[in-house]
Amino acid sequence: MKYTFTGETVLVSGAASGIGKATAHLLAANGLAVLVSDIQKDAVEKLAQEIKANGGRAVAHVGDVSRPEDSENAVDLAVREFGALHFAVNNAGVGDGNGPMGDINLEGWQRVIDINLNGVAYGLRFQIPAILAAGGGAIVNMSSILGIVGEQTAPAYTAAKHGVTGLTRATALEYSARGVRVNSIHPGYVDTPLLDVFDEQAHLELIKKHPIGRLGTADEIAHAIAFLLSDGASFITGASLLADGGYTAL
Ligand code: NAD
C-alpha cells in the first residue's frame, strides 16, 4: 500500500519493538527519512541498520521519553541529520501492572503517567516548533481503546491514555490552522511484546472482547498511523481514530 509522502522526515518514539517498529519500517518504505528513538539502545540501532539495508533512510536515537531533554535531543538530531522535521509519532509506552486504584503501587502509577502521558507532552513540546519551522506537517499520538473506555485493572494506563486523547485535541485546536495536524490513534489489543504479561487463557479472553475475532497486528496499526500522517488525511485533525476490531462497538 502506498501513501503520499515526498521525502519528508519523521520521528518515531518507542521504535525498537511492536507497533513503533512496524511503523518505522512502513514509513521508511514509503519514502520518509526516519529518526527511530527508543530506550533500548541495541534494538533501536539494529532497526536503523535494517531500514538502511532495505534501501531506506534512518538514524537511531537512544532516549527515554519521560526525560524532556531526551525528547529535545531527538528533535535536534532529526533536524541536524535530515535538515528538517515534518512528522512525529509519539508511540513509546509501557503496560500497567499496578493493580486496582484502592491499593495501587504509586511508584508504578508515576512511571506509567511519566512515560505514557508526560512522554507524549514532552515530545510535542519540542516537535511542534521544529515542524512549524519546516512549514507544517502532522503528528500522531499513541492512545488506546483505554483512552476512550476504562479498564478497572489498569487505572494508570487508562488515565494516561485518556490524557493523551485530551492533549491531542487541545494541541490540534491550537496548531491545525498553522499547518500541523494532530491526531490520536486508539488500537484494541495488538499482538506485541506488551501483551507478554497475559497467559494463554487471558489471551483467549482478550480475543473475545474483539468482535472481529482476533487481536490486531502491529502492521495494521502502522497503516492507520501512515494514513493519518499522509495527505489522504488532510482534513483530519483533533480526531481519535479507533483501530480496535470493534472492541468499543460492543
Ligand atoms: P512494545 O513493548 O512492543 O513497544 C514499546 C516500545 O516502547 C519498546 O521498544 C520500548 O523499549 C519503548 N519504550 C518503553 N519505555 C520507553 C521510554 N521511557 N522511552 C523510550 N522508549 C520507551 O509495545 P507496543 O504494543 O508496540 O506499544 C506501543 C504503544 O502502543 C504503547 O504506547 C502502547 O501503550 C500502545 N498500545 C499498545 C496496545 C497493544 O495491545 N499492544 C494497544 C493499544 C495501545
pLDDT at position 2 is 83
Helix axes 155-175, 119-133, angle to 10 degrees: 20
Q: Which residue has its alpha carbon closest to ligand 1 atom 32? A: 93
Band of the pLDDT at 149, cuts 50, 70, 90?
very high
pLDDT > 90 in the chain, percent: 97
- For residue 177, the CA-to-ligand 1 centroid distance in Å is 30
Is 88:11 a contact under the CB 8 Å cutoff?
Answer: yes
Q: Give residue-wise pLDDT tens across range 210-226.
A: 999 999 999 999 999 99
pLDDT at position 236 is 98
Tell me the catalytic residues: 157
pLDDT at position 97 is 84
pTM of the model: 0.98
- Where would I find the H helices in the chain? 18-29, 41-53, 68-82, 106-112, 119-133, 155-175, 200-208, 218-229
Q: Is the pLDDT of residue 29 over 90?
A: yes
Q: Give residue-wise pLDDT tens across range 155-213.
A: 999 999 999 999 999 999 999 999 999 999 999 999 999 999 999 999 999 999 999 99
13, 17, 112, 158, best to mutate for ligand 1 pocket (most atoms within 8 Å of CB): 17
Q: What is the mean pLDDT of the chain?
A: 97
